[in-house]
A and B are shown apart, each in its own frame.
Chain A
Amino acid sequence: MMDISGTNTSDAILTAKAGISAKRKAKIGALKGLMYFAAALTTVLLVGIIGYIFFRGVPHVTWNLLSTTPSLLTDNIGILPNILNTLYIIIIALVFALPIGVGTAVYLNEYATNKKLVRVIELATETLSGIPSIIYGLAGMLIFVQAMNMGTSILAGALTLAVMTLPIIIRTTQEALKTVPDSYREGALALGAGRWHMVRTVVLPSAMDGIVTGIILSIGRIVGESAALLYTAGMANEILTPLKSITPGNAGATLTVSLYMYAKERGQFDVAFAIAVILLIITFVINISAKLLGKKLKK
């Protein structure tokens, strides 16, 4: 009978194994240490920045700041117009970007048969998403503000940002559509559904949480944008009615633009930090509510 346990050779192998495992342990330990360090560094930086902003900003967030318009005559500083302008720009930009973006993604993923055209459009959206925002601002100024005669206005700013967020919405929607199993599509078609009926009743509902993610990202991008708005939406601090916000010629600074002005042009860092606190809170609230909405829609 053959000795299948191979007692003689296994000794050498076992020692070798032991040696390797000791080496491996050291390697794993070192890597673990590096990872912990990286994680700790990230956390410290993040908490540090947020903490610093809150430390400097919170004492200056007052009801007066939130609820009034600024005036050089009374020496009052208030950011109500900027809060409203930010909201206006989010809403108007999404009203344009959402249907066009989702529509484009649906076309690319569900209808287009011309692979070349799809690739060209995808390349274009990828390129668009990599362009610095100030260039959107420049293009927006030339096209919306001047050529289309909207003047420096909320509308021109919102349209510029709509173009800017379009690639995000297209990409995230497309990714979401790709996660919808083909078996759903086949099932719907096999029951006699037309293509649009299939998209509307089966595909889009299944992709909804991904689309919502795209919307959150877009809102985040809009809230955080300032460069593209400097030339297009202007720096006015007057309260606008919703109707005025969609009428050409009514300029207005958003929170980020006003933050820039208070910090850079007027040197009022207390106000700038107060605005930063408000921006942080808005972003936080948007993220949380959108996540909850996405969860609810998925059910």
Chain B
Amino acid sequence: MIFTEKRQGDFMSSVIETKDLNLWYGKHHALMDINMAVPKNQITALIGPSGCGKSTFLRTLNRMNDQIEGVRIEGEISLRGENIKNLDANVLRSRVGMVFQKANPFPMSIYDNIAYGPRILGVHKKKELDEIVETSLKQAAIWDECKDRLKTSALGMSGGQQQRLCIARALAVKPEVLLLDESTSALDPVSTSKIEDLLLELKKKYTIIMVTHNMQQAARIADRTAFFLLGELIEYDNTEKIFSHPADKRTEDYITGRFG
């Protein structure tokens, strides 16, 4: 009962919606007829075995696949009702931020890393940048650890700190959606749990879509979970439902560890 009510509300306020989304890498059909609505201010986890298309799907949402040669996309993706094909790719990416599997801070100072995005958008006043840097680092729960060394190279931070820095960098341009592509898979458990806590906090302000290989992680923090297999969206529902009463046999087999 509660579920249906909640689901109803979710669809009402979906931020990203895909309609009959298909993607080919050359001749390989990597995504098939994906129809999905991602609710606002929730964490949506994409799970599935390697090569199932979940990362491809994620990268389609901010058009990072445009970079790759031989990619053909059909169908529609809309961000708050606007077809993302009609948006400028750079503008789209400042609205849909992304954090990658491996932390990728630029080889510059912590401050310049955070200021990178705002500077692209034309913010150059020192006072404004200072403020953005501070709030972004605070939002990513890393301000206390680096406030005294903002001018030092970001490459000197630990792996977990670097990844939170990358989250802060993505937040600095005030995106509406945050995409995370297995962003904790290269981190130790302590850093991972820090980032999970952070995401639970961030979903109050942002809509989060994350690809994860770690099903416990999806179960712990995601509100909704989508299961992908061989390019198809098999099942997409509230996380509790997926992990307790999956509707599809394949979902059940995957989450109980029978393959993957």
A binding-site residues for B, Cβ under 8 Å: 113, 181, 183-184, 186-194, 197, 201-202, 205-206
Q: Tell me if B116 and A190 are in contact (CB < 8 A).
A: no
A183 and B104 contacting across the interface, CB-CB below 8 Å: yes
Instruction: Give Cα distance in the complex from A50 to B174, angstroms.
Output: 62
Q: A190 contacts B91, CB within 8 Å?
A: no
Contact of A191 (CB < 8 Å), options: B67, B69, B173: B173
Contact B97 A190 (CB under 8 A): yes
Q: Which of B69, B90, B91, B166 contacts A187 (CB 8 A)?
A: B166
Question: Are B116 and A186 touching (Cβ within 8 A)?
Answer: no
Question: Which of B97, B104, B169 touches A186 (beta carbons < 8 Å)?
Answer: B104
Leading 9 A-B pairs by shortest Cβ distance: A192-B94, A183-B104, A191-B117, A190-B98, A187-B104, A192-B93, A192-B90, A193-B120, A192-B120
Does the CB pair A192–B91 fall under 8 Å?
A: yes
Known: A181-B104, A184-B104, A186-B100. A191 touches B116 (CB 8 A): yes
Q: A189 and B64 in contact (CB under 8 A), knowing A113-B69, A184-B106, A194-B90? A: yes
How many residues of B sit at the interface, in one of the four size bands?
20 to 34
Tell me if A191 and B104 are in contact (CB < 8 A).
Answer: no
A119 CA / B169 CA spacing, docked (Å): 37
B102 at the interface (CB under 8 A from A): yes
Whether B170 pairs with A190 at a CB distance below 8 angstroms is yes
Q: Does the CB pair B107–A206 fall under 8 Å?
A: yes
Question: In the assembled complex, which residues on chain B have CB atoms less than 8 Å from the CB atom of A113?
Answer: 69
A183 near B120: Cβ-Cβ < 8 Å: no
For B61-78 the 0/1 string (1 means CB < 8 A from A) is: 010100101000000000
Contacts A181-B104, A186-B104 known; A197 to B120 CB distance under 8 Å?
yes
Residues in A neighbouring B91, C-beta threshold 8 A: 192
Q: Which of B197-243 contact A (CB under 8 A)?
A: none
**Chain B residues closer than 8 Å to A197, beta-carbon distance:** 120
